[in-house]
Structure 1
Amino acid sequence: MPKMKAAMAEGYTRARADNIGVCIGTSGPAGTDMITGLYSASADSIPILCITGQAPRARLYKEDFQAVDIESIAKPVTKWAVTVREPALVPRVFQQAFHLMRSGRPGPVLIDLPIDVQLAEIEFDIDTYEALPAYKPAATRKQIEKALNMLAASTKPLIIAGGGIINADAADLLVELAELTGVPVIPTLMAWGAIPDDQPLMAGMCGLQTSHRYGNATLLASDFCLGIGNRWANRHTGSVEVYTQGRKFVHVDIEPTQIGRVFNPDLGIVSDAKIALELLVQVARERQAAGTLRDYSEWAARCAERKRLMQRKTAYDNVPIKPQRVYQEMNAAFGRDTVFVSTIGLSQIAGAQFLRVFGPRQWINCGQAGPLGWTIPAALGVVAADPTKTVVGLSGDYDFQFLVKELAVGAQFRLPYVQVLVNNSYLGLIR
């Protein structure tokens, strides 16, 4: 099923740095079925390449069998969607596709190939082919120094880590910055694992659903937030008025139009997360050597104590079993390197509240779109990308039912993973 292919490609991309998952489908409904997967990838800044077949060029726009205008349909949910009308363009279209997927804010591309274009013969020298370099905007030293000056003027600062840090493969730099400055970190759901859950400066997640009580309390106690690679999503902020009141904000993001979209920060910096973090670490080291870094140990200790005191109970003995106990047992059963995959629903919300994640790309979650059925194919994509990992899918009953047939794909291609089904037989989040 093409929807499954797109989700599997997404899982493949998310599993390892620099991966790009590719899915291929035929004409007509094969392309339209990919649209949900393209929306999911676009919303979460995940590069995947979808390739579709098409009717012969002479039959386009004549309402032929399965000759849908997939280029127009896919454009709103891709960085680029194109029907290739000249065979000689094929190498350059693919070259441009990979350039666009990796440049700026990452995202998906769809290439539509009419059957006569596919069958044409062209001259192409693979030995002289070179990939186009990806463009990544970079913060300046002046911007970074101002951001650190604003941080130094605060008494209760936080770093808000977004999924852009995972995409940029910059989790180590995030932890280094936190340890250099002594500033606690609140990751968004898309960045969960960028700083290990048991790292003393991991202050918990905040927001409406996938959050921790201590994370919310710490956010409300803060007076400054340095957001890196995040988009201030409503599930993270809750009420924007409450979230922003009484604190200053610096927002670092690779996409210029994200800065100011939800609220106007006190300082906006357009930059790739890794490039910005490298410069933040460099300037922080210089200030540490000069003895000018502010001491935030008392604030960090209060955040850690809040985290210790506000843990929720999970050791229930109820029959039927309570969900809290399910996640307690999952934490005990699976090791520190386990990769959890989930999409949406009460099972996913509770998973984010109770599970423990200790590294980047160990919580793979469909953030903005949340399509039911995403978990199983995405988990298969993760296994395909790294068969050495223990992969655990987490679903409610309806997410599981949507694409349960794709378990046969895992069996056919020997893609083993563990699927946990939290079954309340209720469609709880929808109801």
Structure 2
Amino acid sequence: MSSMPGGKAIVDTLLKEDVNHVFGLIGSAGMEIFDALHGTPEIRFIGVRDERTGTHMADGYARAANRAGVIIAGQNGPGATNLVTGLAQAAAAYSPVIALAGSLSSGHVYRDAFQEVDQQALLRPVTKKTWTATQARRLPEMVHEAFRTALAPRRGPVALNLPRDILAEVVDFDDGPSGWRGELAPAADVDSIARAALFLAGSARPLILAGGGVKNGRCHKVVLQLAELLHAPVVMSPGHGDAIPCGHPLYAGQMGPRGNLVATDLARRADVILAIGTRIGFNTTFYSHHNLNPHATIIQVETDPLALGRFMPIALGLFGDAGTVTAQLCRELAGHTATHAMRWREDFQRKRAALLKTRDEDGARVTTPLQPATLFKILRDISPEDSMFTMDAGTLCLQATDQMRYAQPPSLFTPLDFGLVGFSYACGLGVKLACPTRTVVSLMGDGGFGMTMSEIGTAVMHGINSICVVMNNGCWGAEKAYQRDFFGGRYIGADVSNPPYDKVAELFGAAGFQVDEAAQLEPALQAALVCGKPAIIDVQIDPNALYSFRRDSFKHRDPKK
């Protein structure tokens, strides 16, 4: 045992959890934690400009590093309320973010004290679990429990509220209960594996639908081994187009309303669909069979038993880890020769090649104002093989999600489950810290970047050299598309007036580039890649290049009215 303030005990416990990056915004309620971090060079503290964007950084870091991301809100009240949006995003993405929130002194609770808010009630709906510390001596135990909870299947964010008097209290600490967590990779039962193998072996049109469980489990190699055994194309749920490397001949891209037509057509025609590590949920299906063959035999593999058959009827549910169950299926099907599926595979590959050719032809058409397809083609051509892309919500990013080259998983980070505008740039800073040797490109609309551009200062201060491409069309594109298509072009609140973002970047000390026409784009991207600074590229995009993604939501509207 040793005597120390509660704040120092928390930092010591973070060290025991092998934490090497912490994001946060200082505040008086958490000063003992920050003072302890000052004396702990093993942990790099990234001071942010807003707790929301700091949480997005922790989220991106967690997804890219495959470990917990830590965010500290040093101020009770406003500091904690700012966490809510970031934690809700992390919860929707099953991202293991740990929020340590400074809280009101215990003796001031329920007295209308300065900056008082019920943080326990506030954070509970957007986390996997929320605690409030009540004894200084138990702080190490609670921090270990936060990590254990965040990282246990199914992963998700947690919040620990830390009253300032408990952080300041000096007591004798031991390490508390062990922070040990086993690597949980449950296997499916033998009989279910045998049944699944029979379905797959008899399929003439097999399809693998890979979701977040494949990406987060880093198990693309075994998934591809099974795909090759079956001659099964691999489609991915939206937001997980990087579940397998895009260069593989069975890679089909993302399916469904936010995917591409070739991948979606596969899902509409497949006779057996093996859904690995996916809920087969909203973004994949919009809860309908419009993009999924209603007569297909669906085998679903999920580590969450409650997800099996929850949204779509299935023939067989396999409760288990995506990689472990896939390896079981490979062993069960060893020696299988799927000659009857060769025509299916070859037909897919012809259509996929035609799709890629069409995309490149569309992107090669140089027009002013610049079209999204041109930007996407140049990004595909210029971005290094190791590139990691972060996306925002909004019409331009939704158009981009299936267009990039995801060569080295993981390489795509999106807010699709929560649809959050203002996510991408901050997320990219966290991704870059997790993978400092890889290229990180963040795509954002101009509205979303305006929400979060203060974090350019964080990037400059800490030398986080990501590239942000601002697709600037001067409007809230998704909503303007709906107003155009379903509300007779009666625009209100749709247009956005922006400063020159390249100049804003330069004022912060970053590299800024302005692109008004296609010929300027490639030189700007090349310069951003080698500038050795955080880079912002302000690209002027055709404001009419809008698309209504959720047309189903406006079936009740007559577009002529």
Higher relative contact order (CA 8 A, sep 6+): 1
Report Cα offsets for 1:375-401 as digits up to 9, x if no partner.
111011011112111100101111111
- Give distance in 2, aligned partners of 1:181 and 1:8: 39
- Give distance in 1, aligned partners of 2:196 and 2:387: 35
Q: Does 1:307 align with 2:355?
A: no
Q: Does 1:227 align with 2:242?
A: no
Report Cα offsets for 1:138-173 as digits up to 9, x if no partner.
322222221121122321010000011111221222
Partner of 1:240: 288
Q: CA deviation at 1:72?
A: 1.4
Q: CA deviation at 1:132?
A: 3.7
**2:209·2:275 contact (CA, 8 Å) conserved in 1?**
yes
What residue identity is the alignment partner of 2:324? I
Q: CA deviation at 1:405?
A: 0.9
User: Higher mean Cα deviation, 397-406 or 187-196?
Assistant: 187-196
User: Higher mean Cα deviation, 65-74 or 80-89?
Assistant: 65-74
- Give distance in 1, aligned partners of 2:165 and 2:309: 46
Counterparts in 2 of 1:350 and 1:360: CA distance versus 1, 3 Å: same
- Give distance in 2, aligned partners of 1:166 and 1:202: 14
**1:102·1:135 contact (CA, 8 Å) conserved in 2?**
no
- Give distance in 1, aligned partners of 2:221 and 2:89: 26
How large is the RMSD of aligned CA atoms in angstroms? 1.8
* Structure 1 residue ranges without an equivalent (≥5): none
Q: Does 1:79 align with 2:128?
A: yes
Given candidates 97, 100, 103, the residue that maps to 1:48 is: 97
Given candidates 331, 341, 344, the residue that maps to 1:282 is: 331
**1:99·1:133 contact (CA, 8 Å) conserved in 2?**
no
Partner of 2:380: 331
SS where residue 22 of structure 1 aligns?
strand
SS where residue 158 of structure 1 aligns?
strand
Q: Does 1:372 align with 2:416?
A: no
* Structure 2 residue ranges without an equivalent (≥5): 1-49, 481-561
SS where residue 478 of structure 2 aligns?
coil
Q: Does 1:124 align with 2:169?
A: no
- Give distance in 1, aligned partners of 2:78 and 2:103: 11
What residue identity is the alignment partner of 2:389? F
Q: CA deviation at 1:353?
A: 3.4
- Give distance in 2, aligned partners of 1:167 and 1:310: 28
SS where residue 214 of structure 1 aligns?
helix
What residue identity is the alignment partner of 2:373? Q
Over alpha carbons, which structure has the higher Rg? 2
Q: Does 1:14 align with 2:63?
A: yes
Counterparts in 2 of 1:330 and 1:206: CA distance versus 1, 3 Å: same
Q: Does 1:204 align with 2:204?
A: no
SS where residue 363 of structure 2 aligns?
coil
SS where residue 166 of structure 1 aligns?
helix
**1:100·1:134 contact (CA, 8 Å) conserved in 2?**
no
Partner of 2:190: 141
**2:252·2:263 contact (CA, 8 Å) conserved in 1?**
yes
Partner of 1:33: 82
- Give distance in 1, aligned partners of 2:376 and 2:127: 36
Partner of 1:4: 53
SS where residue 196 of structure 1 aligns?
coil
Counterparts in 2 of 1:406 and 1:353: CA distance versus 1, 3 Å: same
What residue identity is the alignment partner of 1:355? M
SS where residue 216 of structure 1 aligns?
helix
Report Cα offsets for 1:44-71 as digits up to 9, x if no partner.
1110100001111121222211222111
Partner of 2:343: 298
**TM-score when normalising by structure 1:** 0.94
What residue identity is the alignment partner of 1:397? D
Given candidates 377, 383, 387, the residue that maps to 2:436 is: 387
- Give distance in 2, aligned partners of 1:310 and 1:380: 32
**2:391·2:401 contact (CA, 8 Å) conserved in 1?**
no
What residue identity is the alignment partner of 2:171? I
Q: CA deviation at 1:9?
A: 0.1
Q: CA deviation at 1:409?
A: 0.6
- Give distance in 2, aligned partners of 1:142 and 1:274: 18
Given candidates 148, 152, 158, the residue that maps to 1:109 is: 158
Q: Does 1:69 align with 2:114?
A: no
- Give distance in 1, aligned partners of 2:427 and 2:95: 13
